Structure 1
């Protein structure tokens, strides 16, 4: 008997291919965005991220896709980034043109473009090297990581990093920019925690997928960061000072 496709339900490949255009269309329809749920996710990503990924499992069960179909998280995160970048420009920048360029570059380059690149790398890595091998005699459906889900994982991981390195650092910047050992220590500690937590959330995002194996790979950068941090402190490297000098020096 030849395989058939139900008329009432589109094939999986078509459904996933049509998800991205639908996702983009919803960006301009803010009435369809679940703002309250997005803020709930943002809060729990900072306090109990496993709860967020437990809801990701529910999303898969109800909508048969791992990725969010609501762009509210990206839109709100971009808006908050623009506000934070504007605050830095108001405090440290002297020109309106450069301030505008800085705000745009933070949102478009730091968040979106780098996010696209990181998501693509993780998407390629997980699908080609971390998927569990299925037997040729197995009747299980072969599953793949959706690119949009990889971007979701990046966005989830980025938000606590944003809180640490854009919000908390802003209010602590008078202390962190001072000279001496304590500012260097605190600045490195802040960056170490923020970057380590980013990679930990990356791990949680892929570990929740039942068809992936050896997802502890995503925890390896944390070890490198922790080992490198004391050397940066001893060398007197202040990441806060270097980042702000890069933008406003």
Structure 2
């Protein structure tokens, strides 16, 4: 179960911690297939999942996402990989999607089979397929344009994820880590758009200025979380430069928010209409 030892220390781990005192490079590097096989095998072993720690990550993605990424550094120090090897986080995310899908089905007046269709769309298309597309795009762009030459690499930032990455000479980002960044970033989005908005559904589905401003502001906050957590995930890697470019989507988001108030564009009613038409089609 979860303990303080699961957290990444602020300054990383002393060299005496590693076998031979040589750091993470002394660990045997597993192939992507081996890591994937181990992860899938643990999906059916609930007793081996650390749900308490996964809940800790859910909470800190809201209040202090930097601490979540320090844990990725700790994982690399001990297991020589950045991506999660414990599926507990993914299982909790699936539970959240199940609950939110059920509530949306009630709001939209869907039956049981409508709920199933809505749930499958939300999990396999909106979360996994779109997430893989976004993660692959950012993974490719970061490896193609943001990776620095070894002679220009900056030192790790405060013991962050990039500290060991630069030390062991890695030259590209793990795709699984890029997908984990997406999963981290989507947690606040799901919580706000599939949770908070549903609690305020009677307030944010009108066409008056106040309703549009409040409802659309929640969208801005959720997009802001996604962009910022994504930025943190990549900026913590010491081999990358110019990661501030990942913050630029915030500008059109704010611009569109202003336009939405001017022209009474209610994002929430659009979302409800889209979900309803998709299930009924």
Using structure 2 for the length normalisation, give the TM-score.
Answer: 0.80
What's 1:165 paired with? 193
Distance (Å, rounded) in 2 between the aligned partners of 1:179 and 1:234: 11
Structure 1 Cα separation of the partners of residues 273 and 190 of structure 2: 19
Contact kept? 2:147, 2:239, Cα under 8 Å: yes
Whether 1:225 aligns to 2:253 is yes
2:164 alignment partner in structure 1: none
Contact 1:161 1:195 in 2 (8 A): yes
CA distance in 2, matches of 1:94, 1:56: 40
Rounded to whole Å, the distance in 1 between the matches of 2:124 and 2:261 is 31
Matches within 5 A, 1:99-248: 99-135=115-151, 141-248=169-276
| Cα distance in 1 for residues equivalent to 2:216 and 2:207 | 14
Distance 2:233 2:87 in 1: 18
SS in 1 for 2:130: helix
> Which consecutive residues of structure 2, in runs of 5 or more, have no partner in the other structure?
1-25, 152-166
User: C-alpha displacement at 1:143, in angstroms?
Assistant: 2.7
TM superposition shift of 1:118: 1.0
Measure, in 1, the Cα distance between the counterparts of 2:132 and 2:97. 16
Q: What does 1:3-18 align with in structure 2 at a 5 Å threshold?
A: 10=28, 12=29, 14-18=30-34
Please say if 1:65 is aligned against 2:93. Answer: no
Q: 1:22 to 1:163 in 2, by over 3 A?
A: same
Deviation at 1:90, TM superposition (A): 1.5
Choose which of 108, 112, 132 in structure 2 pairs with 1:92: 108
CA offset at residue 96 of structure 1?
Answer: 2.5
- 1:140 deviates by 6.2
Residue in 2 aligned with 1:3?
none
SS at match of 1:174: coil
Contact 1:82–1:106 (8 Å) recurs in 2:
no
Contact 1:93/1:99 (<8 A) preserved: no
Cα-Cα RMSD: 1.9
